[in-house]
Amino acid sequence: DSGVTQTPKHLITATGQRVTLRCSPRSGDLSVYWYQQSLDQGLQFLIQYYNGEERAKGNILERFSAQQFPDLHSELNLSSLELGDSALYFCASSLGTASSYEQYFGPGTRLTVT
Amino acid sequence: DAKTTQPPSMDCAEGRAANLPCNHSTISGNEYVYWYRQIHSQGPQYIIHGLKNNETNEMASLIITEDRKSSTLILPHATLRDTAVYYCIVRVLNTDKLIFGTGTRLQVFP
């Protein structure tokens, strides 16, 4: 158990819909990261927040957005869903922003868009 | 794009050492080498990281060549539970994101 929690575990929704994925970081961790893992793209970094502020952006679509709240939990919002958004979404957390800090991953949310 | 090259798959007998190579010939001086693994569809699990010295923890050892262009992850006594995809990652300078390549699928057999 990494200490990172994600809800829900599974999500099935239809094209065009909007969903919210939730992540609670390990106690004491200030950074939260979101990754997407699909069969054809592998594990891809989406976005990072540090202590409530956006820190880095990766291959995140404009239909996707995220935020980190004062209690440090984070939410990833996916809208106008397409079939290709079906994937595993992982949240990770780390202590801070230094390169030496390892990231701890949650169990993921499996999103299926039908 | 990932900055590392790994063999796509490897086999290892249970109880033997598993040596997983990684090439990172373009690594910069202050970039770390990280290893993660992913068992089936679980979240990636941190294993070990290093800058230039060899490192060892309860899970594995990391050997980094003197020129830092390659490294080897060593699982000293592989078990069936070590069957997973192992990712070697170079930490991008001044950012925290991890860029995952395709990794090495390690199959430990009885």
What's the confidence (pLDDT) of residue A40? Answer: 77
pLDDT at residue A114 above 90? Answer: yes
In 3D, which of B76, B50, B46 has the Cα closest to residue B62? B50
Do residues A25 and A73 make contact, with C-beta atoms less than 8 angstroms apart?
A: yes
Amino acid identity of A32? V
What's the confidence (pLDDT) of residue B41? Answer: 87
Residues of chain B positioned with their CB less than 8 A from the CB of A42: 100-102
Read off the pLDDT of each residue in A57-63 and give the average, rounded to a whole number.
93
Contact A105 B32 (CB under 8 A): no
What's the confidence (pLDDT) of residue B94? Answer: 61
pLDDT at residue B29 above 90? Answer: no
Do residues B59 and B48 make contact, with C-beta atoms less than 8 angstroms apart?
A: yes
Task: List Cα–Cα distances, B14 to A48, B43, B83, B110, in angstroms.
Answer: 38, 24, 10, 5
Establish, for the pair of chains A and B, how many residue pairs have beta carbons separated by less than 8 Å.
67
Nearest to A45 among B38, B43, B97 (CB): B97
Quote the minimal CA–CA distance from B103 to chain A in Å: 10
pLDDT at residue A13 above 80? Answer: yes
Name the pLDDT band for B91 (thresholds 50, 70, 90): confident
pLDDT at residue B39 above 90? Answer: yes
Residue B75, by phi and psi: left (phi above 0), alpha (psi -120 to 50) or beta?
beta
Read off the pLDDT of each residue in A13-27 and give the average, rounded to a whole number.
97
Contact B99 A45 (CB under 8 A): yes
What's the confidence (pLDDT) of residue B53? Answer: 85
- What is the token pair recorded at A89? 């979404």
Hey, which bits of chain A come out as E strands?
5-7, 10-13, 19-24, 31-38, 42-50, 53-57, 64-68, 74-78, 87-94, 104-105, 109-113
Name the pLDDT band for B2 (thresholds 50, 70, 90): low
Contact A33 B96 (CB under 8 A): yes
Quote the minimal CA–CA distance from A17 to chain B in Å: 25
What is d(CA B39, CA B84) in angstroms, rounded to the nearest whole number? 5
DSSP single-letter state for residue B92: P
